[in-house]
Amino acid sequence: MALFLSIIQRLAYLMISIIDRDAGAFLLTKGDQTRVNLVHWGRSGLAFTRALGRSGLFVVQGIQGFPKSWEAWHLLIRQLYFVGVLSLIIILVSALFIGMVLGLQGYTILVDYGTEDALGQMVALTLVRELSPVVAALLFAGRAGSALTAEIGLMKATEQLSSMEMIGVDPLKRIVAPRLYAGFIALPILTLIFSLVGIWGGMLVGVDWLGVDAGAYWGNMQATVDFREDIINGVIKSCAFALAVTWIAVFQGYDLVPTSEGISRATTKTVVYSSLVVLGLDFVLTAVMFGSL
């Protein structure tokens, strides 16, 4: 109950400070600790809302800003290399091991019911529906997202963005847009590759090692996995994650405080926020796609 009241109190404070900033400053002079909280909560609420608005405008401008020229394709391909190709190793290795673990765990569970023939179905559905989009997005946030934030942040700190602006080139078009698009394209591809390798890894353990019949492994899988229901939904999920992670990463880089401390904090934020958003979004999307809400 006390917790509940304090939450209500804080929300009220938040509202007051958002409406009237001076009210917060006035109350501060009374030196009351809760009043200090009021100002603090109000300010951070305000700052959060502003950052959200800024990032929304930012991503819209970035998406619109993709220049329609041959030069732009070069920039995009370059970014696809950094964001996609360089993330490939970690995706391949993780997918292989996750697939193998799924094969092993699935087998030990299914064999108790004598239904180890359903292993293929279990591995494929787990990967295609859930694990591939989520794990690929988390790895992508750690590998490519943090790199994007650090790179853009460094450009900001060394005034490269400002100087580009002064040369008369919009950094939103030249720096931000290609990176946003590269992220949107790369993650769904990485997710598909993740599924492929994971299913193969599951087969490696299930079929080649534990002796599940190869025909049953594939046959059961084909009988239950639906192209539209499962695979396309998985791809849609990963597209949503790609948007979220790239958006967060690029915006954190563009919006950070241009110091070395600012860069390291923004990089951490990118990974933390991306992971939270991916997991939260995953639940919502799963509920919409597979749940019977």
Partner 1 sequence: MALQNKTLELSVGAFMLAGVFALIFLALQVSGLTLNNKSDDYFTLYANFSNIGGLKPRSKVTMAGVTIGRVTAIELDTQWYEAKVTLAVKRELLGKLSQDTSAAILTSGLLGENYIGLTPGAQEETLQDADVLRDTQSALVLEDLVNQFIINATKD
Partner 2 sequence: MSEPLVDIQHLSFHRGSRAIFDDISLQVQPGRITAIMGPSGTGKTTLLRLIGGQLLPDQGSVKVAGHEVSQLKRPALFAMRKQMGMLFQSGALFSDLSVFENVAFPLRVHTDLPESMIRDIVLLKLEAVGLRGARDLMPSELSGGMARRVALARAIALDPRLIMYDEPFAGQDPISMGVLVQLIKRLNDALGLTSIIVSHDIDETLSIADDVYVLAGGRLIAHGSPEALKQHQGAQVRQFIQGLPDGPVPFHYPAPSLLDDIYHR
The residues that touch partner 2, with contacts defined as CB under 8 A, are 71, 154-155, 158-160, 162-170
- Which of 23, 28, 63, 88 contacts partner 1 by CB under 8 A? 88
Interaction of residue 221 with partner 1, rule CB under 8 A = yes
Interaction of residue 175 with partner 1, rule CB under 8 A = no
Give dist(CA 275, CA 197) in Å, integer.
23
- Which of 137, 139, 161, 192 contacts partner 1 by CB under 8 A? 192
| 130 in Cβ contact with 291 (< 8 Å) | no
Q: Which does 167 bind (CB under 5 to 8 A by kind): partner 2, partner 1, none?
A: partner 2
Radius of gyration of the chain (CA): 24
- CA 12 from chain center: how many Å? 32
Q: Compare residues 35 and 43 and give the one whose CB is closer to partner 2.
A: 43
Window 106-135: contact mask with partner 1 (x via CB under 8 A): -------xxx-xx-----x---x-------
Q: Which does 155 bind (CB under 5 to 8 A by kind): partner 2, partner 1, none?
A: partner 2
| 252 in Cβ contact with 264 (< 8 Å) | no
Q: Compare residues 163 and 222 and give the one whose CB is closer to partner 1.
A: 222
**DSSP single-letter state for residue 225:** -
CA count, 13 A, side-chain hemisphere, 250: 32
| 117 in Cβ contact with 213 (< 8 Å) | yes
Interaction of residue 196 with partner 1, rule CB under 8 A = yes
- Which of 122, 189, 266, 278 contacts partner 1 by CB under 8 A? 189
Q: Taking Cα atoms as reference points, which of 87, 114, 119 lies closest to residue 208?
A: 119
Interaction of residue 144 with partner 1, rule CB under 8 A = no
Interaction of residue 290 with partner 1, rule CB under 8 A = no
Question: 30-54 burial string, b = 16+ CB within 10 Å, else e?
Answer: eeeeebebbbbbbeebeeeeeeeee
| 163 in Cβ contact with 174 (< 8 Å) | no
- DSSP state letters, 95-112: HHHHHHHHHHHHHHHHGG
Q: Which does 196 bind (CB under 5 to 8 A by kind): partner 2, partner 1, none?
A: partner 1
Max Cα-Cα span within the chain: 77
- Which of 17, 230, 244, 267 contacts partner 1 by CB under 8 A? 230
The residues of the shown chain that bind partner 1, judged by CB under 8 A, are: 74, 77-78, 80-81, 84-85, 88, 113-115, 117-118, 124, 128, 186, 188-190, 192-193, 195-196, 199, 218, 221-227, 230-231, 235
